Chains A and B, each alone.
Chain A
Amino acid sequence: MSHIKIKLHENQLQFIKDTCKEFNYEPGELINILHKLQDKFGYLPSEVQEVVANELKIPTAKVFGVVTFYSYFTMVPKGKYPINICLGTACYVRGAEKILDEFKKQLNIKVGESTPDSKFSLNCLRCVGACGLAPVVMIGEKTYGRVAPDDVKKILSEYQND
């Protein structure tokens, strides 16, 4: 399923099992379970999906189908500082594409990729609802509003010493 092969540690395995138990092994709670696991692991590699499928006694294909349907779920790890560029309409008409281009250029990665040192990953999202601040960029939990292409370098430099 995924090109990344990982081995789950015993405590990670236990966390997945405990989570499934917490939701009563109810297949209807699959999305809630996946939310909790992604919060914990940062992403949902196929190994995690297999364990969930086993615990809930549903086909792995069903879990995979749900994970790939929803854009919130990801099968590749995000960077230490995930960068999200809002491409909602309000940000679009206020120049969000230029901001995105500038991030791509500065980091030399494409949308959906991470920098080789796993420090930054770059993604787009649709409307965080802070349209008054458009164009908006989120890095982790922090929101940057009214961003201009010239600001990008400065924003990235805030994370330089980490």
Chain B
Amino acid sequence: MGTYKYHILVCGGTGCKSSQSTQIVQNLNEEIKANNLENFVKVVTTGCFGFCERGPIVKVLPDNSFYNYVKPEDATEIINEHIIKGRRVERLLFRDPVTNKPVTDSKHINFYQKQLRIVLRNCGVIDPENIEEYIARDGYLALYKCLNELTPTEVIDIIKRSGLRGRGGAGFPTGVKWEIAAASPGPEKYVVCNADEGDPGAFMDRSVLEGDPHSVLEAMAICGYAIGASHGLIYIRAEYPMAIKRLKIAIKQAEEYGLLGKNIFGTDFSFDIELRYGAGAFVCGEETALIHSMEGNRGEPTVKPPYPAVSGYKGKPTNVNNVETFANISPIIIKGPEWFASIGTEKSKGTKVFALAGKINNVGLIEVPMGITLREIIYEIGGGIKNDKKFKAIQTGGPSGGCLTEKHLDTPIEYETLVAAGSMMGSGGMIVMDEDDCMVSVAKFYLDFTVEESCGKCAPCRIGNKRLSEILDKITKGNGTMEDIELLKNLCMVIKDTALCGLGQTSPNPVQSTLENFWDEYVEHIVDKKCRANKCKDLIHYYIDPENCTGCMACARKCPVNAIAGERKQVHVINQDLCTKCGTCLETCKFNAVYII
């Protein structure tokens, strides 16, 4: 990284940018200028460090000091103390949550210790807007090797032997997919990168595109060489403006360096890449819908076969892979398939990136070897449940997935074990829930999502999911019956068996999985008219405990509907007819006098 004594890496991922990391960079640069240190220290805006919980994050090299929760005004101290005087700014250093001692070297932070970074190898390390930094870390070497030393068949063979499976959800072997596309006849073929990332609560693909866009471009070109395609398309959601911007810069730079375009590395292989934008439709992540959307149509799925590898974009053979799948390709080519296959488990090789979010201490992006257990992820990497609450469930696979509970904590994470546990790998969203989450409401949350996102083409999905959501709504309102549960179960099976595409075929999973794991909660809602998490408004009532109430009037003043009556220094009472159960009184009361039953 040049001749500078220090490099200051500032996270430029969406999370940290939202909390003013741009201003931090600007302030650092101003301080550097004011102190004439331009040849001594360099500020680099990188992609996501993954540790979003602690953002904005600033890391200083070569000593690996890891500063968290940095504010723009801290720039002065970082330059004056750390850079000029060589003393770490102790108060900004990451502190170990258990010992509360500052950790001086980021390598010793628990959050990173169990991680293994292949896909995220460059995220938080290089400047994603500078192709030279990617090249300096063996970038485009794999493409060079493929074009000059390997035949397309050999490339496919390497990917097959690595055991790499698709990271977009279903886990189809990538090498086999390439082989089918390569065998499909035709002079015109396409390589498509699926960057639609529709699972709410997932941000793996976005972080790769923002932090290391060239890794995807290079892999797409390798795929093009392997299957005989000279055009690539990236379908990216319009909600990711920063990823779009970085991709555009990366494509332009790669073209200028002759790494995309005509006659790459002087060979007769040519490959170009174009961007196509999504417009906010979850179903467009499904590959046939995605292709229709790229053709300018409504993103409605069609029946497979024919598979895209045979007839895809414009009716031509098309290979669709996920962003993360592509990001694995170059390391496999360089380090060899045996190296990759040595990581992970028998059937699931390599690593998986997960977006860890919800009620967990260390929200962020993690990359772990396949086969790791949920316990390691939640308690070692994730730092445990927020506010020392009790762990209840972890949701994987988004609207197509299910909940894993206490009893799954020691199950190794693989494609097959997750399916057996009633969930799925999905694209990698992991939402942690605690005792305050109502599982019936969570199922309803996902069904409401599916109802909104169903394209409406097939009846089982359009009508069936709506019915599921209505029944769940009825149960959360305290009007459910035990027959409703039977109906739910039947409907789930019918929808799964008859829906046209993967959306409807998996949308009942959240219902089935919560029924399976949280049967008691359903029964409580129906029979006892109770919600143990106190989430379902129709099943709870707020009361004031006369023992604890001091008559301070704080709750009465705050109540938005004036439902609380009472004089100063006298016990207050909530009028149940007026109460909207917003919970403001509970949050306001300083004397623990408000309670729920």
Contact = CB atoms under 8 A, between A and B. Distances in A.
Nearest to A65: B298
Interface in B315-347: none
Given A128-B239, A129-B206, A132-B52, A93 B358 contact: yes
B583 interface: yes
B200 interface: yes
B449 interface: yes
A145 interface: yes
B14 A128 contact: yes
B284 to A, nearest CB: 8
Given A31-B293, A66-B297, A70-B281, A131 B363 contact: yes
A126 B296 contact: no
B418 interface: no
A14 interface: no
Contact of B431 (A26, A28, A29, A89): A89
B296 A28 contact: yes
Contact of B14 (A27, A35, A129): A129
Contacts of B238: 35, 72
A17 interface: no
B395 interface: yes
A97 B345 CA distance: 40
Interface in B428-447: 429, 431, 433, 437, 442, 445
Given A31-B293, A35-B279, A132 B15 contact: yes
Contacts of B163: none
Q: How large is the interface on B (under 10, 10 to 19, 20 to 34, 35 or more residues)?
A: 35 or more
A131 B357 contact: yes
Contacts of A8: none
A90 B296 contact: no
A54 interface: no
A71 B279 contact: yes
A87 to B, nearest CB: 7
Interface in B181-212: 198-203, 206-207
A130 B280 contact: no
B582 A101 contact: yes
A98 interface: yes
Contacts of B433: 93
Contacts of B299: 69-70
B159 interface: no
Contact of B52 (A28, A73, A125, A133): A133
Nearest to B399: A89
B359 A93 contact: yes
Contacts of B200: 87-90, 92, 126-127
A89 B357 contact: yes
A98 B581 CA distance: 11
A69 B583 CA distance: 37
B112 interface: no
B276 interface: yes
B560 interface: yes
B276 A129 contact: no
A27 B445 CA distance: 37
B132 interface: no
Contacts of B480: none
Contacts of A131: 15, 52, 201, 203, 355, 357, 363
A126 B431 CA distance: 14
A69 B281 contact: yes
B52 A89 contact: no
Contact of B18 (A32, A88, A94, A130): A130
Nearest to A58: B296
Interface string B212-250: 000000000000000000000000001110000000000
Contacts of B52: 130-133
Interface in A139-153: 143, 145, 149
The size class of the interface chain A forms with chain B is 35 or more
Given A69-B281, A127-B200, A133 B395 contact: no
- Choose among A87, A126, A143, A145 the residue with the greatest number of B CB atoms under 10 Å from its CB: A126
B53 interface: yes
Interface in A62-81: 65-66, 69-73
B281 A89 contact: no
Interface in B257-313: 276-282, 293-300
Which of A30, A70, A149 counts the most B-chain CB atoms under 10 A from its CB? A70
B357 A72 contact: no
Contact of A66 (B202, B296, B429): B296
B298 A88 contact: no
B369 interface: no
Nearest to A73: B279
A48 interface: no
A35 B355 contact: no
A70 B297 CA distance: 10
Contacts of A66: 296-298
A65 B363 CA distance: 39
A105 B364 CA distance: 32
A72 B277 CA distance: 11
A100 interface: no
Contacts of B402: none
A89 B55 contact: no
Given A70-B281, A90-B357, A30 B296 contact: yes
B280 A93 contact: no
A99 interface: no
A88 B201 contact: yes
B9 to A, nearest CB: 18
A69 B398 contact: no
Contacts of B295: 28
Contacts of A30: 296-297
Given A70-B299, A129-B207, 17 more contacts: A28-B294, A29-B296, A31-B276, A31-B293, A35-B238, A70-B279, A71-B279, A73-B280, A88-B201, A105-B560, A126-B200, A128-B14, A131-B52, A131-B201, A143-B18, A145-B18, A149-B584
Interface of B: 14-15, 18-19, 52-53, 55, 198-203, 206-207, 238-240, 276-282, 293-300, 355, 357-359, 363-364, 395, 398, 429, 431, 433, 437, 442, 445, 449, 455, 560, 582-584, 587
26 contacts: A28-B294, A28-B296, A31-B276, A35-B277, A69-B455, A72-B279, A89-B395, A89-B398, A89-B445, A90-B363, A92-B200, A93-B433, A94-B358, A101-B582, A127-B203, A129-B15, A129-B206, A129-B207, A130-B15, A130-B18, A130-B52, A131-B52, A131-B201, A131-B357, A134-B357, A149-B584
Which 6 residue pairs spanning A and B have beta carbons closest together?
A132-B52, A70-B279, A129-B203, A72-B280, A89-B201, A90-B357
